[in-house]
Chain A
Amino acid sequence: GAVVSQHPSRVICKSGTSVKIECRSLDFQATTMFWYRQFPKKSLMLMATSNEGSKATYEQGVEKDKFLINHASLTLSTLTVTSAHPEDSSFYICSAVGSGDEQYFGPGTRLTVT
């Protein structure tokens, strides 16, 4: 089946630093990947749509200069949280779209900013 990985699974960083999260489709190519954010005991909120070879499309209210997305290949999208602050602490989940339109989700990355 379609497998999506995320790395790292957990990361702790200091306020003001940047952290990169990788999302990989392991056994299929994904021209489109989505990045979601989930607060504790809350739903998933779409942050941006990542398309291979083009600029990401950000949802309203998401700062594109703070959450940098790069979809450099058909199997890899990265989310970089720049100048992280404690309020950026959250669970970040990616999904990748296979040959149809079904989204396959990664296991998520827990970011803690101290």
Chain B
Amino acid sequence: AQTVTQSQPEMSVQEAETVTLSCTYDTSESNYYLFWYKQPPSRQMILVIRQEAYKQQNATENRFSVNFQKAAKSFSLKISDSQLGDTAMYFCAFMKNTGTASKLTFGTGTRLQVTL
């Protein structure tokens, strides 16, 4: 079974600053995906970024980037130039790559507050 650990229950960052959210995972699988999802107060889950485990290059999406360390089973999210709209719960998630739809295993989440 897979486990996903987010050790930071809450984080705070000032607007325009950079913040890094941590995530570690445990799996015996070699082929998988990792995700960061954002859940704002509306509760709608929004995909932030996705990383394929077979890719060495770290994924980036505009202000969001990851640091994927496969050997260490670490997958942190960096948010640059933080904006007030980034305030949300952030969940790290793991999914086996089976070639078809597979379930997501979520971490416990990090509540990010962006302040003025």
Contacts A32-B101, A44-B91, A46-B104 given; indicate if A102 touches B47 (C-beta within 8 A): yes
| Consensus secondary structure, chain A interface | strand
The CA of A96 and the CA of B63, in the complex, are separated in Å by 27
Given contact pairs A97-B101, A101-B101, A43 touches B43 in the complex (Cβ within 8 A): no
Contacts of B107 in A (CB 8 A): 43
Q: Which of B100, B105, B109 contacts A101 (CB 8 A)?
A: B100
Q: What is the chain B residue whose CB lies nearest that of A105?
A: B45
Contact A34 B103 (CB under 8 A): yes
Name the CB-closest residue of B to A45: B106
Report B's interface with A, CB cutoff 8 A: 33, 42-47, 50, 91, 95, 97, 99-109
A34 to B105, CA, bound (A): 12
Contact of A105 among B44, B99, B100, B101 (CB under 8 A): B44
B109 and chain A: residue at smallest CB distance: A43
Chain A, residues 75-100, CB within 8 Å of chain B (1/0): the string is: 00000000000000001010101000
Residues of B within 8 A of A18 (CB): none
Interface of B is mostly: loop
When C-beta atoms are compared, the residue in chain A nearest to B92 turns out to be: A43
- Choose among A42, A97, A102 the residue that contacts B108 (Cβ–Cβ < 8 A): A42
Contact A108 B91 (CB under 8 A): no
Query: When the two chains form the complex, which single residue of B103, B106, B109 contacts A49, counting CB atoms closer than 8 Å?
Result: B103
Interface residues on A, range: 20 to 34
Set of chain B residues within 8 Å of A97, measured between Cβ atoms: 101
CB contacts (< 8 Å) of A108 on chain B: these are: 43-44
Contacts of B47 in A (CB 8 A): 102
Instruction: For B44, list chain A residues within 8 Å (CB).
Output: 105, 107-108
Chain B residues lying within 8 Å of A102, measured Cβ to Cβ, are: 47, 50
Contact indicator A43/B45 (Cβ below 8 Å): no
Chain A residues near B106: list those with CB within 8 A: 43-45
> What are 21 contact pairs spanning A and B, CB under 8 A?
A32-B100, A43-B108, A43-B109, A44-B91, A44-B106, A46-B104, A91-B43, A93-B45, A95-B104, A97-B101, A101-B33, A101-B95, A101-B99, A101-B100, A101-B102, A102-B47, A105-B46, A107-B42, A107-B43, A107-B44, A108-B44
